[in-house]
Amino acid sequence: MTYVVYSAPATEPVSVAEVMQHCRIDASNQEPAPGAITVALVAESGNVDNGSHRYRVTFVTADGETQAGDISAAVTVANKTASGKVLLSSIPIGGSTVTSRKIYRTAANGAVYYLLATIADNTTTTYTDNVADASLGASAPSANTTGDPLLSILIKSARQYAEQLLGRYLVTQTIDLYLDEFPDWEINLRPLQSVSAITYVDTAGATQTLSAADYIVDSTGTPARITPAYGVSWPSTRDQVNAVKVRFIAGYGAASAVPQCVKNWMLMRIKTLYETRDSVTFQNGTAVFPESYVDGLLDPERAWSKY
């Protein structure tokens, strides 16, 4: 008996922006940038540098971050030992997909907006700025990378189906393959980058790590194979489920390494899923199933392996 456990990759083969472009989805499906906040000096000693400062806010969703919003009125710190803090109020609240907000500020008398703070919710409307210019972070984004939450769901769905059809993983992922026992000779795997470790439960019930010198990884062919090294046999295991675990790294690499034919297939499938929310459409009362000819785009990258 075998089964595989894996976690989703950190990035997807195609981005929300690529899907929006392919599907001709305009900015109305994105989270709009926030309005301006209200600013006022606080009559307390603080760290905000002397000079004029302005503020902008962005909304953050699971997909990305909006561009910087409207610019606040200027607030001038003349003597930070007397009034060196700034109270920000009426901080905009975003839509239901917004998970946090970021506040950006100029340095004294500057024109570039740098990260001041992240508010890790979508409810707080006030913040007291007590940060020196030297502690400001990255500059504010100029492009909106948020999107319709549905697009992220469809991207994941398309990637998972592509992996099923191809018999391989796309973007770098760590995979755990569980076996009840070592096979007679070779362990077949989907195309891989490397094997991290092989562990097993010995006959005494202790978990052991198999030395890398005791097995050979052949990743030149498809499927990849792991066999005992010359003159070595697989060790005996306890008679129990999941006695052997093979942890390996699979995938082409980063999203940029995924072949274009696979990305094109994903974009076509996502567009169909986005525009046709049902499994079939009807023409003159007759059910019409979506064409599957585009699946041929995946043929150059198919790997006929079990795991």
Same domain, 170 and 251: yes
**What pLDDT is stored for residue 114 in this prediction?**
98
C-alpha count within 13 angstroms, C-beta hemisphere, residue 180:
5
Tell me the per-residue pLDDT of 221-273, one tens digit each, with 9 for 90 and over: 878 899 999 999 999 999 999 999 999 999 999 999 999 999 999 999 899 88
User: Is there a single domain that holds both residue 125 and residue 165?
Assistant: no
User: What is the per-residue pLDDT for 304?
Assistant: 56
The residue ranking higher by pLDDT, 197 or 293, is 197
Whether residues 126 and 173 fall in one domain: no
The per-residue pLDDT for 275 is: 81
215 in any annotated domain: yes
pTM higher than the cut 0.85: no
Task: Tell which residue, 103, 44, 42, 47, has the closest CA to residue 75.
Answer: 42
Domain extent at residue 97: 31-135
Helix (H) or strand (E) holding 22: helix 16-22
On whether both 107 and 181 belong to a single domain, the answer is no
* Average pLDDT taken over every residue of the chain: 89
Query: Based on the domain organization, do 39 and 66 belong to the same domain?
Result: yes
Average pLDDT over residues 272-295: 66
Mark 194-230 as b/e (b = at least 16 C-beta within 10 Å): ebeebebbeeeeeeeebeeeebebebeebbbbbebee
Domain contains 292: no
DSSP string, 67-89: PP-PPPPPEEES-HHHH-EEEEE
Same-domain status, 186 and 237:
yes
Domain count, the chain: 2
Question: Is residue 279 pLDDT above 70, yes or no?
Answer: no
Report d(CA 83, CA 44) in Å as an integer.
Answer: 5
In a domain, 280, yes or no: no
Domain identity same for 184 and 98 = no
